[in-house]
């Protein structure tokens, strides 16, 4: 097997380990000048990078491409499952006072705020574990987006210096997103708020700060108070008209194309929406307004925006989409994914503790199972696979 050479690995091969170290040190010296010019004190910088080495696993994470693009129905089934809806409802109760204050101050409704929290970090449970300074220093000195990441590293050092977040708490994704809201450091600098009034903006340790910061983000992204993100619509049979989040038309234009609300009522809502068809015209269809764009801006992915929008509706008491996804093999929630893992473990696969995350090891075990049963081998954890695992267990 050919091992994919990483950037740092190939650098070390080209010029030796000592040389790679020297290049990293030279890169940090450049960033030091940039940081000091941006108001980072020398002692803050020097303490943060003392004995810092590049993190090879961050380079690998940056270069790794998902083996296949997840179906939208798998993506949403994992993010908007019964467990997350129940957890979100419990958080709405627990933090109702803070959420009421956030609604008052920022004009963003509590269901959307809690939905962002649930999708970003599973309500603070999964915030990433990589030390931010080391990850960002690594990608600031290797790869194709060094300029961007240097700005994020400098922002991280300014957060350290401000004392908003403690150094131990500054951990996150390989790319630098951190805290219960998974803000990038520059986003934190612009938009995080101290919502519990203790003088620190702490989106890691303070739920009120995280919720207030999320609401502030959405307000600054153009949130229209009291307006819907959008809603599911019904398309006429064989619809082949315009579509797309950014392809905005007036309600009259959409209505003229035969599009109605699910119950047949005329279309309503603020301004000009786009038409979102995440799985084409045969799947669920949505008119999306400017509040959807505000959610979208959080992570620049329509599937992600739809997960948050849909979770917010579920938290309001709404149900699943009326139109089924165009598949006979629906996606699984996290409880069902854990069941898939548990059943594979019972068949002798070493998957550790079932965690509901379908990673490369679980996918390999699924392919083994599919291959042994003469099923199509794709490594995907869907409903058909789960049924086959259950039937196999019942026969044993
Ligand atoms: Ca605070």
pLDDT in tens, 16-63: 788 888 899 999 999 999 999 999 999 999 999 999 999 999 999 888
Q: In this structure, is the dihedral angle defined by the CA atoms of residues 255, 256, 262 and 266, taken in order, positive or negative?
A: positive
CA of 98 to the centre of ligand 1 (A): 12
What integer pLDDT is reported at residue 82 of this predicted model?
A: 97
Give CA torsion, residues 160, 165, 167, 172, to 10 deg. -110
Quick one: CATH architecture of 8-64+127-220?
Orthogonal Bundle (1.10)
- The string of DSSP codes covering 258-327 is T-EETTSPPP--SSPPEEE-BTBTTS-EEEE-HHHHHHHHHHT-HHHHHHHHHHHHHHTT--S-SSPPS-
In the chain, what are the domain boundaries? 8-64+127-220, 334-395
Q: What residues does 172 pair with on adjacent strands?
A: 130, 178
CA of 110 to the centre of ligand 1 (A): 19
Residue 287: which residues within 8 A CB-CB, separation 6 or more?
230, 231, 233, 254, 259, 267, 269, 273, 274, 275, 276
Q: State the angle between helix axes of 42-49 and 146-162 in degrees (0 to 180), rounded to the nearest 10.
A: 110
CA distances for 67 relative to 4, 73, 102, 236, 271, angstroms: 15, 17, 40, 35, 39
3-class DSSP state for residue 237?
A: coil
What integer pLDDT is reported at residue 394 of this predicted model?
A: 83
CA of 180 to the centre of ligand 1 (A): 13
Question: Which pTM does this prediction carry?
Answer: 0.93
CA of 300 to the centre of ligand 1 (A): 27
| CATH topology identical between 8-64+127-220 and 334-395 | no
What integer pLDDT is reported at residue 3 of this predicted model?
A: 44
Fold of 334-395: Muramoyl-pentapeptide Carboxypeptidase; domain 1 (1.10.101)
CA of 193 to the centre of ligand 1 (A): 7
The protein residues having their C-beta less than 5 angstroms from ligand 1 (an ion) are 194, 196, 198, 200, 206, 209
The segments of the chain whose pLDDT lies below 50 read 1-5
CA of 217 to the centre of ligand 1 (A): 16
Q: What residues does 250 pair with on adjacent strands?
A: none
Structure tokens that stand for 128 in this block: 């990433």
CA of 210 to the centre of ligand 1 (A): 9
CA of 313 to the centre of ligand 1 (A): 29
Residue 308: which residues within 8 A CB-CB, separation 6 or more?
112, 115, 116, 119, 295, 298
CA of 57 to the centre of ligand 1 (A): 32
Residue 334 to residue 336: CA distance in whole angstroms:
5
């Amino acid at each position: 097997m050919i091992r994919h050479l990483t950037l740092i690995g190939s650098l070390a091969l080209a010029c030796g380990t000592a040389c790679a170290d020297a290049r990293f040190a030279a890169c940090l010296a450049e960033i030091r000048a940039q940081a000091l010019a941006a108001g980072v004190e020398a002692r803050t910088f020097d303490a943060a990078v003392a004995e810092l080495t590049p993190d090879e696993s961050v380079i690998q994470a940056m270069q790794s491409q998902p083996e296949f693009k997840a179906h939208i129905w798998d993506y949403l089934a994992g993010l908007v499952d019964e467990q997350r809806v129940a957890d979100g409802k419990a958080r709405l109760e627990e933090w109702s006072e803070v959420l009421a204050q956030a609604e008052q101050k920022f004009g963003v409704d509590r269901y959307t705020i809690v939905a962002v929290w649930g999708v970003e970090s599973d309500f603070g449970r999964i915030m990433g574990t990589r030390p931010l300074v080391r990850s960002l220093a690594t990608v600031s000195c290797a790869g194709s987006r060094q300029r961007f990441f240097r700005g994020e590293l400098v922002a991280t050092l300014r957060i350290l210096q401000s004392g908003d977040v403690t150094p131990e708490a500054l951990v996150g994704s390989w790319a630098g997103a951190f805290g219960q809201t998974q803000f990038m450091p520059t986003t934190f600098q612009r938009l995080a708020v101290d919502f519990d009034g203790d003088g620190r903006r702490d989106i890691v340790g303070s739920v009120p700060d995280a919720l207030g910061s999320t609401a502030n983000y959405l307000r600054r992204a153009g949130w229209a108070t009291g307006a819907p993100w959008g809603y599911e619509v019904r398309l006429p049979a064989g619809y082949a008209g315009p579509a797309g989040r950014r392809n905005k038309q007036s309600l009259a234009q959409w209505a003229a194309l035969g599009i109605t609300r699910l119950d047949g009522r005329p279309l309503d809502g603020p301004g000009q929406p786009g038409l979102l068809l995440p799985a084409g015209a045969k799947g669920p269809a949505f008119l999306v307004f400017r509040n959807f764009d505000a959610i979208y801006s959080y992570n620049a992915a329509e599937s992600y925006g739809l997960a948050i929008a849909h979770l917010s509706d579920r938290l309001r008491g709404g149900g699943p989409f009326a139109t089924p996804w165009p598949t006979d093999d629906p996606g699984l929630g996290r409880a069902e994914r854990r069941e898939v893992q548990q059943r594979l473990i019972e068949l002798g696969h070493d998957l550790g503790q079932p965690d509901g995350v379908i990673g490369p090891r679980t996918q390999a075990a699924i392919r083994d199972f599919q291959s042994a049963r003469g099923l199509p081998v794709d490594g995907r954890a869907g409903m058909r696979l789960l049924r086959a695992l259950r039937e196999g267990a019942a026969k044993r």
